[in-house]
Amino acid sequence: MGTHAYIDPDFLATGELIPKSDIYSFGILLLCLLTGKSALGISKEVKYAVDNGDLNALLDPSAGNWPFVQAEQLAQLALRCCDMNQRNRPDLESDIWRVLVPMKASCQHSTVIYITSAF
């Protein structure tokens, strides 16, 4: 069944488990990774911070220095994943990967530059 805070609210209401249910859980997980906070109520807290231009204060400092542009992109993506209506959630292949793959490539490139310049 899973941990309550990660469970798709539509699944709780209907008992129907679909791929978009996993997208909801993925969004909650992303928000937890970004903030270091527990899953309970995290989407409302992050949405409030994003809407008020205060996302930077919510980011988990123990996770390292988040490039703010990428952290904001991840937060926006995660909030879309956590939409209460399953139909409004992004598709894994066409929407989520479109954000994550270039972000991964960008991070790998930054690491290579850093390692190269260290020698």
Instruction: Give the chain's domain count.
Output: 1
SS3 track for the chain: CCCHHHCCHHHHHHCCCCHHHHHHHHHHHHHHHHHCCCCCCHHHHHHHHHHCCCHHHHCCHHHCCCCHHHHHHHHHHHHHHCCCCHHHCCCHHHHHHHHHHHHHHHHHHHHHHHHHHHC
Structural domain boundaries enclosing 77: 4-89
Rounded to two decimals, the pTM is 0.82
pLDDT tens digits for 58-103?
999 888 777 888 899 999 999 999 999 899 999 988 889 888 888 8
CATH code where residue 70 lies: 1.10.510.10
**Looking at the domain assignment, is residue 13 inside a domain?**
yes
Please report which confidence band the pLDDT of residue 113 belongs to, taking 50, 70 and 90 as the band edges: very low
